[in-house]
Structure 1
């Protein structure tokens, strides 16, 4: 009798878990397959995924606060609609998966628009231009891309820099050691290894390199070399179904620029106006 009782309880538990899972799956499926603007305005909340080490775009400071250009810009855009941003730290290598699973609603953190990413997500208009640079220690005597022949290169996993590196092999991939780059979860980890001579060069976003090395008072110790790749456009990534959300962000950019708020945020972090023509028009 006891065996039958336990079997019955077990089957009931399995059924409950299964139903719960089905319910969650259905909810998640509905969320990612529909335009959710009405929901965002009702709940007055939107969840943005970001790499909390990507200075100066979006990162966690020493006090545990989320700060950065993208943090200020996103908060300002959604304040226009009475919506609060919930910032969710994510593994950058999993960003599109997190977005399309419904864990986050946007990817907003120095997110470059690429042909490959356009297949997976919907992008807003570009709001800033960026370039990939090669950073080396001056003591290494590597002052050009050609100097990386047979040398160890580092890059962030899942970054546009690494994607560009693999899709344009003639620039760096064909000459560096092992024909590949050591991949890091964060640029911070990569810079530590570069400083310790565990790698010889790092492929990194120009905005990150300039800001980080300046803050660490190490700008004079490193070379920042144009890697030779085309410029990139920073944009915001949304699910394909969230068409209204993309439209509202684009409108928010223009409104903030017209009012001077965009320039104020830009000058705070970069000392100049970094807005693209899409934002200014």
Structure 2
């Protein structure tokens, strides 16, 4: 009887903790949490720690990148510290709406499909999906991918476009499918070693990575033909004040020149959208 009571007690405890965790996530998803962020002086941001130059882990274990610097500048204005949380990019919206993170901020393209799940800030930077191939393959356009193997990151806007607009690439490539990778790093390694023939990837990542590796001359970067995109920050639908505060900070940072300094550091040019410039 005593053992049985202990087992029942443990089961009850686990159930209570599970309900409490779920309740916490549900509560965070259903209310405006700005006062909580102000009171605790902290906020948790989810990101893909391999996405150079937006947000990534350096060899010394520190996090760096354009989005890291920009987010830090935004929340410094409000006296709020950031806890950076590496996440599986394929599960980003689930992590957000379960309350495990408070924002998705890492080269996150604002698409119509994603708008159904999250509340976006203003766009702050333009982006484009490109097809990257090795020059030695002589593939210089989408047509060259006929019956070839394509790679893409799981959960990326590029992969979503690939599925949603099959006439552009899906109908051409081998088996009408793309090999999915957890990170672009893994995909680029496979491209380098000829395990895939082309990679659908964000232009900002492709250019920065290949330049840093000294490989830009060995690859061809092709406009894949999808509509231009823009990066924005994703919040829970109820966190309207948080989004308003971020939008306001974007404009203030641009007005005082801080945004341009961060942009020049990572890209050598001003990448701000008109929304940030308040045009």
1:111 to partner: Cα distance: 0.2
Q: Which residue of structure 1 lines up, in the alignment, with residue 141 of structure 2? A: 144
Tell me if 1:64 matches 2:46.
no
Mapped to 2, the partners of 1:16 and 1:204 lie a distance apart of 46
Q: Secondary structure at the match of 2:201?
A: strand
Q: Which residue of structure 1 lines up, in the alignment, with residue 181 of structure 2? A: 184
Q: Which residue of structure 2 lines up, in the alignment, with residue 103 of structure 1? A: 100
Q: Which residue of structure 2 lines up, in the alignment, with residue 230 of structure 1? A: 227
1:24 to partner: Cα distance: 2.3
Mapped to 1, the partners of 2:211 and 2:167 lie a distance apart of 31
Deviations 1:7-33 (A, max 9, x none): 122112222222222222222221121
Tell me if 1:25 matches 2:19.
no
Q: Paired residue for 1:55, among 47, 52, 55?
A: 52
Q: Paired residue for 2:240, among 240, 243, 268?
A: 243
Q: Which residue of structure 2 lines up, in the alignment, with residue 162 of structure 1? A: 159
Q: Secondary structure at the match of 2:232?
A: strand
Alignment of 1:239-278 (within 5 A): 239-278=236-275
Q: Which residue of structure 2 lines up, in the alignment, with residue 43 of structure 1? A: 40
Mapped to 2, the partners of 1:18 and 1:169 lie a distance apart of 45
Mapped to 2, the partners of 1:36 and 1:71 lie a distance apart of 22
Deviations 1:250-276 (A, max 9, x none): 001000000000000000000000000
TM-score of the aligned structures, taking structure 2 as reference length: 0.98
TM-score of the aligned structures, taking structure 1 as reference length: 0.98
Q: Which residue of structure 2 lines up, in the alignment, with residue 208 of structure 1? A: 205
Q: Secondary structure at the match of 2:272?
A: coil
Tell me if 1:219 matches 2:208.
no
Higher Cα radius of gyration:
1
Superposed structure 1 runs of 4+ greater than 6 Å apart: none
Structure 2 contact 162–170 (Cα < 8 Å) conserved:
yes
Q: Which residue of structure 1 lines up, in the alignment, with residue 196 of structure 2? A: 199
Q: Paired residue for 2:73, among 73, 76, 85?
A: 76
Deviations 1:174-219 (A, max 9, x none): 0100001100000000000000000000000000000000000000
Deviations 1:142-190 (A, max 9, x none): 1111111110000000000000111111111101000011000000000
Q: Paired residue for 2:90, among 88, 93, 96?
A: 93
Mapped to 2, the partners of 1:63 and 1:31 lie a distance apart of 34
Q: Secondary structure at the match of 2:233?
A: strand
Tell me if 1:127 matches 2:124.
yes
Unaligned runs of 5+ in 2: none
